[in-house]
């Protein structure tokens, strides 16, 4: 996949595609045939500081850790972005989601992994 602006983190998507965070401040979504589906900045009108870790949850929502803003946002397939974590992170980088609604965030600023629950019920 050419023409990325400082690709950083990547996550597979359920449809065979993938999501890539870029150092320049955007997150791009690609189809299984490696075609650009959308840019999260454009689709949602969201301004990233420095997007880092990305993952996809069981509902197909994209989660993005913003290293500069020290936040984690959820981008649903339909609807507006939701800020899941706005405090308690010093330098969020890599992340992963569990099927039970747990979000694991590697916080390089505190040399630890932080665990958040963002769903009330498992799928």
Q: Supply the pLDDT for residue 24.
A: 79
Each of the 123 residues of the chain gets a pLDDT tens digit; together they read 988 999 999 999 988 999 999 997 899 999 999 999 999 999 999 999 999 999 999 889 999 999 999 999 999 988 999 999 999 999 999 999 998 889 999 999 999 999 999 875 544
What pTM did the predictor assign?
0.93
For the chain, the distance separating the N- and C-terminal CA atoms, rounded to the nearest angstrom, is 33
Give the integer Cα–Cα distance in Å for 97 and 116: 10
Q: Does the residue 122 lie in any domain?
A: no
Asked if residue 63 belongs to a domain, the reply is yes
Q: Does residue 82 form part of some domain?
A: yes
2 lies in some domain: no
Domain count, the chain: 1
In a domain, 43, yes or no: yes
Q: Give the residue numbers spanning the domain of 24.
A: 7-117
What CATH number does residue 56 fall under?
Answer: 2.120.10.30
State residue 100's pLDDT score.
86
* 12 occurs within a structural domain: yes
Residue 65 included in any domain: yes
Asked if the structure places residue 76 within a domain, the reply is: yes
């Amino acid at each position: 996949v050419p023409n990325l602006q400082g690709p950083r983190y990547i996550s597979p998507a359920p449809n065979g595609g993938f999501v890539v965070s870029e150092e320049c401040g955007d997150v791009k979504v690609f189809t299984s045939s490696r075609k650009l589906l959308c840019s999260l900045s454009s689709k949602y009108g969201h301004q990233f500081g420095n997007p880092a870790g990305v993952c996809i949850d069981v509902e197909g929502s994209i989660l993005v850790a913003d290293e500069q803003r020290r936040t984690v946002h959820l981008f649903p397939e339909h609807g507006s972005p939701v800020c899941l974590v706005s405090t308690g992170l010093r330098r969020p980088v890599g992340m992963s989601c569990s099927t039970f609604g747990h979000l694991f965030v590697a916080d390089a600023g505190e040399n630890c992994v932080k665990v958040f629950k963002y769903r009330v019920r498992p799928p």
